[in-house]
Structure 1
């Protein structure tokens, strides 16, 4: 199994190394291609950095890991797209994105570059896993190794699932993880954006903790209880037909 490892925190993130190490330990053939710079919040953007229309990459070395690695001047969604179309040495069997610094829970996963890379793989018929570690805004030191332990448990599950499955895994930043649970998306994430008006022509986005308690059984609630959570994200191909009369057109 060939795995592309990417993220949205950039090529120098310890979480990226953690995810690559977990894949190598499970026998995956690993290629790392991650943004040269921080790319959080880019969702599934396929924009490259710069205006030449070309995607530039630079060979890098990952500390203590003998794998091919590249810093790419692009967002993770574009990196995933390029890989799924045969770039970076051939199409991967799976795309692994993360480990993100901070949870990706609730409907806010729509904005995550970590999740965006996984969703981009899915629509290109490649299974994917987005991994995030629940480190808060002013949280303690990230326990990257704990995320790696959970990934080693989850990856064999992903291999056995249907093609183009996409899973989002969130791991609590605690030593004693209570277990692994399937979870629905919460209505909101644990952290939300608040818009503050600075002056007539300027606003500021401020990250704040959500005030409402998440519904029981959702990813945000279970994560807060110390569980690692798995959420299967639906494909854009799975749509719902609303059975009601349509207005006449053209009039």
Structure 2
């Protein structure tokens, strides 16, 4: 008689959608690391949604559809919701056993600097953290113009090393991981990095004559500060940044009596 699997359960999600090759590569890396994988990702792209809990349907019901993913021998679901919502319901057991770990990515494009607050990839990881579940967010530094093919295998190849570091940390820890878009042989060593003031891209907003607002993404020309995730990534290093989720700021205390009625 065979016993039940004792493999650590992981939920793999992303914000690029269920059909993303980066998601499939990350799921395969988790399987290779010996984890019990379940994949649940948005049915369509949900980039830039942060930790939002928006679903595609009303009435508090979120449609899910089983999928077979190429090269991924694990249950998978296309979900009509954003990655933050997927992480939330997944950590409450919506897709089976409650996961011990949430892994998000591999995102097409870097997630660096303070703008990570807007990233659906990072938002899923931070949502898991609020629930006491450790999480990894993986992004690959693919150019906006897609002039270079994505090296998904490079990002997937550092998964085991980053996971080993995460396992030494308390529950609820979040690592944001950015990987240069190069062949594995060209990678420089993994480095801890602080968040840059800005990332490699920023939003460009313009109000048009028809009354609409156009929001696009453009590359940043300024040089990021030394030792930040944006600078180290540009220099060819894999970067890891430990992120704090929502918490009170004990350094800020004022005299509230002045505003008392």
Deviations 1:97-123 (A, max 9, x none): 000000000011010000000000000
Alignment of 1:41-190 (within 5 A): 41-139=48-146, 140-175=148-183, 176-190=186-200
User: How many Å separate the matches in 2 of 1:221 and 1:185?
Assistant: 10
The partner residue of 1:194 within 189, 204, 208 is 204
Structure 1 stretch 69-78 or stretch 148-157: which is displaced more?
148-157
1:27 aligns with 2:34: yes
1:10 aligns with 2:17: yes
Residue 150 of structure 1, CA deviation? 1.1
Unmatched 5+ residue regions in structure 2? Answer: 1-7
Residue 66 of structure 1, CA deviation? 1.2
User: How many Å separate the matches in 2 of 1:151 and 1:169?
Assistant: 9
Unmatched 5+ residue regions in structure 1? Answer: none
4+ aligned runs moved over 3 Å, structure 1: none
Structure 1 residues 21 and 196: CA distance shift in structure 2, 3 A? same
Cα RMSD between the aligned structures?
1.2
Match of 2:231 in 1: 221
Query: How many residues are paired up?
Result: 251
Residue 44 of structure 1, CA deviation? 0.4
User: How many Å separate the matches in 2 of 1:189 and 1:129?
Assistant: 19
Report if aligned partners of 2:41, 2:78 keep a CA contact under 8 Å in 1.
yes
User: How many Å separate the matches in 2 of 1:242 and 1:80?
Assistant: 31
Residue 199 of structure 1, CA deviation? 1.2
User: How many Å separate the matches in 2 of 1:84 and 1:122?
Assistant: 10
User: How many Å separate the matches in 2 of 1:6 and 1:215?
Assistant: 31
- TM-score when scaled to structure 1? 0.97
